[in-house]
Chains A and B, each alone.
Chain A
Amino acid sequence: EVQLVESGGGLVQPGGSLRLSCAASGFTFSPYGMNWVRQAPGKGLEWLSYIRGNSDTIYYADSVEGRFTVSRDNAKNSLYLQMNSLRTDDTALYYCARDRANSDMDVWGKGTTVTVSS
């Protein structure tokens, strides 16, 4: 079964850091681009970041550029999101999603919750 499982969420104070992980299984991970998408409570979807299969192409939304860093370890079938300088408006459910043909996202994890609060 094709599956993505996020982990690493939790409660963190403003200005703090957190590292999210996404474990992939059921498919060959390395050729696929991967995305991070978040959803604030009661709000819509916000695309955050994309990383190509070989990590040679990385993009960020303006809202997180310079604070968040995406990476991957193909040997471990894992995707990561290092989040620094967290703000209260970063509070959200964070999803990882497999990229389909550089266009859309065909496999999603269930998400991990990040709460930024003092």
Chain B
Amino acid sequence: EIVLTQSPATLSLSPGERATLSCRASQSISISLAWYQQKPGQAPRLLIYDASNRATGIPARFSGSGSGTDFTLTISSLEPEDFAVYYCQHRNNWRGTFGQGTKVEI
């Protein structure tokens, strides 16, 4: 079973700053990793798929990188609406798994 570990648990930043979120897989998963954003009271929204591809309508300030076991979600300059919880996710043999989430707070 593949385990995804996200760090840090909480990231305290100000608008305009750069956010760097990490997701580490317990074994190599190639580029099969997605990132989601979840705001309070809302459903998750797909941001990045296949490690580095932005989903439809996602602003260019969001970027993903990595392969194998180490992945990064970068928000180049935080907007007020970006303060949320971010999850990484992988599917292995049809079964999905999520990281525990990183909260980006002001």
Contacts and interface: CB of A to CB of B under 8 A. Distances in A.
Interface residues of B, number: 25
Nearest to A60: B95
Interface string B44-58: 111001100001100
Interface in B15-70: 32, 34, 36, 38, 42-46, 49-50, 55-56
A103 interface: yes
Q: Please report whether the interface of chain A is mostly helix, strand, loop or mixed according to DSSP.
A: strand
Contact of A50 (B32, B38, B44, B94): B94
B87 A45 contact: yes
Interface string A73-112: 0000000000000000000000101001111111011110
Interface of B: 32, 34, 36, 38, 42-46, 49-50, 55-56, 87, 89, 91, 93-101
